[in-house]
Structure 1
Amino acid sequence: MEELVVLVNPQDEILGLMEKQQAHINGLLHRAFSVFLFNDKGEMLLQKRAANKYHSPLKWTNAVCSHPKSGETYLEGAKRRLKEELGIETELSEKFNFIYKADVGGGLWEHELDHVFVGNYDDDFNLNKDEVEEVKYISMQDLDNEMSENPENFTEWFKIILEEYKHHF
């Protein structure tokens, strides 16, 4: 089934719908959300994208990143993708939103009005292997070290969103 994204202007007013891959080829601004999850030790959950993803396969990124469906709120979309990708449910709170544009290779662009949510989770996962290769928790210090030593191992948007996250906290 064709997956559509919600095209918007910078004020988050809906301009229409477009097939997801086409929106990424054209670099058009669309709605997105990102979820940062932490355990009780304050470590951040990272997911490694599945090998079959059409862009950025086998790269580490935050817990969940995706797009709300038409008629779905950002929070509803974030909770849906937590269930679909990681097989979990947890409370989330929205922390901020911002617009970014990132070249993700292969002629594809992420140009998103991204709403960033934060939550805590300390239980088991039921990973959807079509979406997620593996997950791990990492301290912020170790994450900073790993990102500076091996930036190619991380998604382009995660690098941008993580920097924006740090400015807010």
Structure 2
Amino acid sequence: MTAADEILDVVDENDRVTGQAPRGEVYARGLRHRCVFVFVRDAQDRVFVHRRTADKLAFPSLYDMFVGGVVGAGESYDEAALREAEEELGVSGLDRPVPLFPFRYDAEDGSFRENARVYEVRCTLPVNPQPEEVAWHAFLPEDELERRLGAWEWVPDGLAAYERLRASRAPRPSRA
């Protein structure tokens, strides 16, 4: 079975399952589906950053600061987060990713719509990313990641999720 043949749950804006379809059809028709984003830090607090391979169905050859992907039909977000993180990092025995917040991404042109959950995990294991998924990778200090935001072409949903993550960590102004 190819990635395009994988069956996904099609969901509405409230995350209720309305049907199922192969991933290729979901992408081609812009159907709303479920995804997970996992923000990975190493023991030195650096962030795992990678460039996707050129043959990916969605956002080929773009950079991403999350590992993750689609939630399979009938799979929970939590199950998908751990599965996707272990697969993309090429590790086993990773701690369960910690859920941070739900996130909805809608491409401006309506071509890509997803309900997602954002997670965070620390990976102290040596990584061996899947060559089918990851063309390049590094653990970058977050200030270096920030400098690369304007220089590299990033997956749009990941960039939107990262902006939301940064906003959630920003200090709140005190009320007088």
Please report the TM-score for the alignment, with normalisation by the length of structure 1.
Answer: 0.88
Q: How does 1:48-87 map to 2 (within 5 A)?
A: 48-87=51-90
**Rounded Cα–Cα distance in structure 2 between residues aligned with 1:85 and 1:25:** 24
Equivalences for 1:108-127 in 2 at 5 Å? Answer: 109-127=111-129
| Structure 2 unaligned spans of 5+ | 170-176
Query: In structure 2, do the counterparts of structure 1 residues 160 and 13 end up closer, same or farther at CA, with 3 Å as the change threshold?
Result: same
- The residue that corresponds to 2:164 in the other structure is 164
Matches within 5 A, 1:1-169: 1=1, 2-89=5-92, 90-91=94-95, 92-102=97-107, 109-148=111-150, 150-151=151-152, 153-169=153-169
Taking the aligned partners of 1:126 and 1:108, their CA distance within structure 2 comes to: 35
SS at match of 2:107: strand
RMSD over aligned Cα atoms: 1.9
Percent identity over paired residues = 23
For the pair shown, the structure with the greater C-alpha radius of gyration is 2
State the shift of 1:154 in Å. 1.3
SS at match of 1:109: coil
- Consecutive unaligned residues of structure 1, counting only runs of 5 or more, are none
Secondary structure of the structure 1 residue equivalent to 2:157: helix
Q: Which amino acid is the alignment partner of residue 143 of structure 1?
A: L
Please tell me whether the aligned partners of residues 13 and 115 of structure 2 are also in contact (alpha carbons under 8 angstroms): yes
Q: TM-score, normalised by structure 2?
A: 0.84
| 1:33 and 1:74 in contact (8 A); partners too | yes
Moved more, 12-21 or 55-64: 55-64
Q: Equivalents in 1 of 2:100, 2:116: separation in Å?
A: 11
Per-residue deviation at 1:56? 2.2
Measure, in 1, the Cα distance between the counterparts of 2:21 and 2:110. 15
Given that 2:9 and 2:19 are in contact with CA atoms closer than 8 Å, whether structure 1 keeps it comes out as yes
Judged with a 3 Å threshold, the aligned counterparts in structure 2 of structure 1 residues 108 and 57 are, in CA distance, closer, same or farther, namely farther
More strand by share: 1
List structure 1 segments (4+ residues) > 3 angstroms apart after TM superposition: none
Q: Are the counterparts in 2 of residues 29 and 111 from structure 1 also a CA contact under 8 Å? A: yes
Q: Say which is worse superposed, 80-89 or 32-41, in terms of deviation.
A: 80-89
Q: 1:42 to 1:8 in 2, by over 3 A?
A: same
